[in-house]
Amino acid sequence: MIKIENLSKSFGTVEAVKDVSFVVNDGEILGFLGPNGAGKTTTIRTITSYLAPTKGNVYINDLNVNDNPDEIRKQIGYLAEHNPLYDEMVVYDFLEFVANIRQIPAVDFKARLKDVTELCGLKKVIYRPIKELSKGFRQRVGLAQAIIHDPKILILDEPTTGLDPNQIVEIRGLIKALGKEKTVIISSHILQEIQATADRTIIINNGEIVADGTVEELMSSFKGHTMLELELKNANKEDIHNLTSINEDIKIDSVLENKNNIISKLEYPNNIDPREEIFNYALGKNWKILEMTRHKVSLEDIFRTLTVEGGENND
């Protein structure tokens, strides 16, 4: 289990992370979501003990990162955002080099190599120079080095950056497979990435946690608005604006004319549903409703609302 308690990290006068607290449970895939500069990478580097907290504590399975950095690093596999690799090395040699750094006994290396090669799909490139590999295979090598020592925790910083759509799908599948055996934290500013892989999402902005929960929990608790799109025949712009008389919480977002029809977008709080009232009002006005489409709040809406100011901190 990972436990973050009142974590703050400053660089000079810049406070990149501000009094952050959260828990990641064993076997959980946590999506750590935020705009560029929100404090994601700083938080991750502190968890891995690469950076020391300015204030607060980080515990990995009850070990404090300040007191037990070497032991904690044994329990964590880390794939950095830009995936630093030695391009001149052959994949096999690179993984052997990492295994030596991780102090994996030579007698155990071949078994670990076989496991990570199969899991990461590296069989056909294991004896090729890293510089000849595609971006997708380079990411696979990065994941292989992160798990060569069979860590309990896997931390991935922007793992699909720069990949094409097919490579993204492949890496997502690999991460989900790894998540069956390990606790995983995925840092990203890409909404689709988190939705596709994470069990739970934390949103950070300006160094502070602004949301924490499953996608469903975030959507149900988020006090946003619903957008209703109407296409009407026999209506006019003046009458559309009178819809606000039905309920004072209804807001007319836009009214457009399209040939003989009116297309209007209405907005209202999630805790009301005035569609039946709107339908009855339309009947009374002899309007013909050609379309009535409701658009509920999405994770993108939540993300944009919570991070609208955009952070300027070091990430």
The pLDDT value given to residue 313 = 46
Q: What is the mean pLDDT of residues 198-204?
A: 94
**Judgement on whether residues 99 and 133 belong to the same structural domain of the protein:** yes
Q: What is the pTM of this model?
A: 0.77
Q: Same domain for 204 and 248? A: no
The two three-digit tokens of residue 252, written as one number: 């007319």
- Sequence-ordered list of residues with C-beta below 8 angstroms from that of 205, at least 6 positions apart, any chain: 34, 35, 38, 306, 307, 309, 310, 311
Strands 251-258 and 261-269: antiparallel
289 plus 163 within the same structural domain: no
Is the distance from CB of 143 to CB of 177 less than 8 angstroms?
no
One domain, residues 128 and 232: no
3-class secondary-structure state, position 297: coil
Claim to verify: residue 241 and residue 109 sit in the same structural domain: no
The boundaries of the domain holding residue 18 are 2-221
Please give the Cα distance from 170 to 179 (Å, whole number). Answer: 14
Q: Does one domain contain both 234 and 103?
A: no
Residues 61 and 209 in one domain: yes
Query: What are φ and ψ of residue 102, in 5° steps?
Result: -80, 0
For 112-141, the pLDDT digits (tens) are 999 999 989 999 999 999 999 999 999 999
Say how many CA atoms lie within 13 Å of 155 toward its Cβ: 25
Which domain CATH number covers 19?
3.40.50.300
163 and 264 both lie in a single domain: no
Same domain, 134 and 185: yes
Residue 312 banded pLDDT, cuts 50, 70, 90:
very low
**pLDDT tens figures, 141-175:** 999 999 999 999 999 998 888 788 888 888 888 88
CATH number at residue 280: 3.30.70.260
247 in the same domain as 274: yes
